[in-house]
């Protein structure tokens, strides 16, 4: 019985650590990306060269950006680790939607559901929080 309790406790600790690691970076949510040349509404994907999920998500994000009539930008944090540190990005893909002035209005660490990106861009344009 004690072994089962210890194993369950260890599993909960590992699961909790994983969930904390995967949560969207708070620092990015409070940032603006004007320093990256993003001054208006845009869809931004933080990625690395070898990230297969990033490559799979890119066409969907490009489609959502095209539907919203905003640019789609990819930022390679493998080539720019200083950006990953500055924005608190620990996992890729990290996807952000920016509003006026490059202010981040939505952040995801996985491909969002259908229409979430388009809806976030619509809210960013109208000035309401995401």
Number of domain units in the chain: 1
Active centre residues (catalytic): 51, 54
Q: What is the domain range of residue 77?
A: 25-126
Cis amide leading into 88 (omega within 30):
no
Tell me if 94 is assigned to some domain: yes
| Measured distance CA(128)–CA(109) in Å, rounded | 22
- Residue by residue, DSSP assigns 68-90 as HT--EEEEETTT-HHHHHHHT--
List, for residues 28-61, the tens digit of each pLDDT value: 766 778 778 888 899 999 999 999 999 999 999 9
pTM score, whole prediction: 0.77
pLDDT of residue 102: 84
Tell me if 70 is assigned to some domain: yes
Tell me if 18 is assigned to some domain: no
Tell me if 15 is assigned to some domain: no
Helix (H, G, I), strand (E, B) or coil at 92: coil
Q: What is the CATH number of the domain that holds 50?
A: 3.40.30.10
72-76/42-47 β-pairing: parallel
Tokens, residue 6:
């210890």
């Amino acid at each position: 019985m004690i072994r089962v309790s210890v194993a369950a406790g260890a599993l909960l600790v590992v699961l909790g650590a994983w969930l904390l690691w995967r949560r969207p970076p708070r620092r990015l949510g409070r940032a603006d990306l004007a320093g990256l040349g993003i001054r208006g509404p845009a869809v931004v994907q933080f990625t690395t060269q070898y990230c297969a999920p990033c490559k799979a998500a890119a066409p969907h994000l490009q489609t959502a950006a095209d539907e919203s009539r905003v640019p789609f930008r990819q930022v390679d944090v493998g080539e720019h680790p200083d950006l990953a540190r500055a924005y608190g990005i620990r996992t890729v893909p990290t996807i952000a939607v920016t509003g006026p002035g490059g202010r981040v209005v939505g952040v995801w660490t996985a491909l969002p559901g259908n229409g979430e990106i388009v809806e976030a861009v619509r809210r960013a344009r109208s000035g309401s929080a995401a």
